[in-house]
Structure 1
Amino acid sequence: MATKEIKGLSDQELNEKITAEKADLNKVTLNHAISPVENPAKIRIARRNIAVMLTEVNNRKKAAK
């Protein structure tokens, strides 16, 4: 997801996306441990997407104070 798209999401949608991405990352990581994934870069991309979304959540919390 692009940063602009993430900034356009509401707080609830953002939390739902984070939860979904974490679940997907967990599933891909477990599958990769059993047998190699076709594209291991998906793991890195998922981690980065989660980090960007969590950063946006933290920025919103700081702005609210």
Structure 2
Amino acid sequence: MPLPKIADARQLSDEALGTEILAAKRKLFELRLQQATRRLEKTHEFKHTRHWIAQLLTVERERELTKAETTATTEDEINHGS
């Protein structure tokens, strides 16, 4: 199974992105639980899941910054009469 691509994360809506982040964190918890009980067979799943979470959080932060930038630009235009 290849590592997930960030393009896949960018295609998600804001709501789907939040849902996917929670699902990935839950999966990581379950992997840790399996490792603690010595039932984990696919150890590479840790790397893939952490990588996917990082990509999802990156996309979420990019969207937050874009919204903040857009809001600041709009406020500047209103305050300066442009």
Please indicate, yes or no, whether the TM-score normalized by the shorter chain is above 0.5.
Answer: yes
Q: Is 1:17 matched with 2:46?
A: no
Look up the SS of the partner of 2:23 in the other structure: helix
Q: Is 1:7 matched with 2:10?
A: yes
Q: How well do the aligned residues superpose, as a CA RMSD in angstroms?
A: 1.0
Unmatched 5+ stretches in structure 1: none
Q: Deviations over 1:14-47 (max 9, x none)?
A: 0000000111110111111110521111011101
State the percentage of identical aligned residues. 26
Q: Is 1:51 matched with 2:54?
A: yes
TM-score, reference length from structure 1: 0.91
Aligned residue in 1 for 2:38: 35
TM-score, reference length from structure 2: 0.74
The structure having more radius of gyration, on CA atoms, is: 2
Q: Which runs of 4+ in 1 moved over 3 A?
A: none
